[in-house]
Amino acid sequence: MTQKEPMTVLVAPLDWGLGHATRCIPIINELIKRELIVIIAASGSQLDLLKQAFPALEYLEIPGYKIRYKPGFLLKWSIFIQIPGILLQIQRENRWLSRLISGRSIQAVISDNRYGLYHKKIFSVFITHQLNILSGLGRKVDNLLFKMNQRRIQRFSTCWVPDFEKDFSLAGILSHPVQQLSIPVKYIGILSRFSQWERTIKKNTLLIILSGPEPQRTHFENILFSQLINSNLQIVLVRGLPGSDHVIPFIHEGVKIFNHLRTEKLNELLSESDFIIARAGYSTIMDLVRLRRKAILVPTPGQTEQEYLGKRMVEKNWMITINENEFNLEAALKKLEKSKLNLPEIPASGFESSMEELITKCRGKIGKADHF
């Protein structure tokens, strides 16, 4: 490949929730801005979301992990016992990548939490904010998962962590484990598809963003529906179901419900809504912090990562967090209204410089993966 020939990059988000796909959007935009050829590998709702955002790109369907979730505290154990199946899927997607690059000219792959998308012939980037995985099953299990996580990430050329290295860390111990790391890590700052812009807050408006695994998503949705009946606010509820033909229920005239909204409209609503309710997913938190919007976070029950992130946002005085089983809409809105939250100005993301390093490495050593 000569210096003038465009480089082809494969981008592949994990199929657990929409956050892995949405945080790939600014990376894809940067690749396109640099006139690189982008191929997206995804499945399910992640595929639908990215097709809406980038209709002109080439798409490949890659099998998903299809994790089965159990409600509440059973969630921790249901994921743990599925580890053998997850490891098998990692092997399958590694073979999938090998077959793909044997017939295609691909110089790099950017994998958001897909552990099998590495190959010795191409430069591979692994994106994660969870260098440290909190299982909720005790320190021994956490240490085991930490070692397994490191071994898997070591097979990639580098690891991009969407967080800041010191004072402004959002993910805390998740992205800054106590144990010594033996993997090449670059902290690239916040990855958000949204832009901060000045808008007038519309009083008595509420934006609710639902997301996450089933059946918890639907369970929380039903809790909200039952409480929205008596609300006098102007409400927009986004269900987090891109590409879905789910029937949209009617609550009353003041409640508008959408299965999905495009980035531009959601950016507008996030910027001007008086109140915001969302899950405590990491990508959602990155979006809220990027826009400097305080919100009510409701962690998915039993999802240890979200429970930790919700507590961390409270400790930093950036958001308020309410457990799902204690959720009361009226009380939650009063609590947010009375709160004195203080979101600081966050430094700019640094993934552009990491992107430049990736391009330089690939052009200088095509076919030979190396560390930054």
Please give the pLDDT value at position 79.
60
Residues 86 and 122 in one domain: yes
371 found inside a domain: no
Structural contact between residues 134 and 96, judged by C-beta atoms closer than 8 angstroms = no
Closest by Cα among 256, 252, 220 to 236: 256
Structural contact between residues 216 and 71, judged by C-beta atoms closer than 8 angstroms = yes
343 found inside a domain: no
pLDDT averaged over every residue in the chain: 88
Going by pLDDT thresholds of 50, 70 and 90, the confidence category of residue 68 is low
Q: Over the stretch 167-190, which tens digit does the pLDDT of each residue have?
A: 789 999 999 988 777 778 999 999
Domain residues for 89? 8-191+349-364
What is the bridge-based pairing of β-strands 58-61 and 8-13? unpaired
Residues 81 and 32 in one domain: yes
Cis peptide before 215 (omega within 30 of 0): yes
Residues 117 and 29 in one domain: yes
Going by pLDDT thresholds of 50, 70 and 90, the confidence category of residue 145 is confident
Structural contact between residues 86 and 63, judged by C-beta atoms closer than 8 angstroms = no
Residues 132 and 162 in one domain: yes
Going by pLDDT thresholds of 50, 70 and 90, the confidence category of residue 89 is confident
- Sequence length of the chain is 372
Q: Over the stretch 236-291, which tens digit does the pLDDT of each residue have?
A: 999 999 877 788 999 999 999 999 999 999 999 999 999 999 999 999 999 999 99
Residues 76 and 181 in one domain: yes
150 found inside a domain: yes
Please give the pLDDT value at position 367.
41
Q: What is the rounded distance in angstroms from the CA atom of residue 103 to the CA atom of residue 97?
A: 10
Mean pLDDT score, 55-71: 79
372 found inside a domain: no
Please give the pLDDT value at position 16.
80
Q: Over the stretch 325-345, which tens digit does the pLDDT of each residue have?
A: 999 999 999 999 999 999 888
What DSSP state is assigned to residue 247? P
Q: What's the half-sphere exposure (Cβ side, CA atoms, 13 Å) at 147?
A: 5
Q: Is the pLDDT of residue 136 over 80?
A: no
pTM, 2 dp = 0.90
Please give the pLDDT value at position 67.
61
Please report, for the domain that includes residue 289, its CATH number. Answer: 3.40.50.2000
Structural contact between residues 280 and 297, judged by C-beta atoms closer than 8 angstroms = yes
Q: What is the rounded distance in angstroms from the CA atom of residue 164 to the CA atom of residue 162?
A: 7
> What tokens were used for 226?
């039952």
Residues 277 and 356 in one domain: no
Q: Over the stretch 180-237, which tens digit does the pLDDT of each residue have?
A: 777 789 999 999 999 887 778 999 999 999 987 788 889 999 999 999 999 999 999 9
Residues 136 and 25 in one domain: yes
284 found inside a domain: yes
Q: Is the pLDDT of residue 53 over 90?
A: yes
The helix (run of H) or strand (run of E) holding residue 220 is helix 216-228
Residues 158 and 111 in one domain: yes
Q: How many domains is the chain built from?
A: 2
Going by pLDDT thresholds of 50, 70 and 90, the confidence category of residue 108 is very high
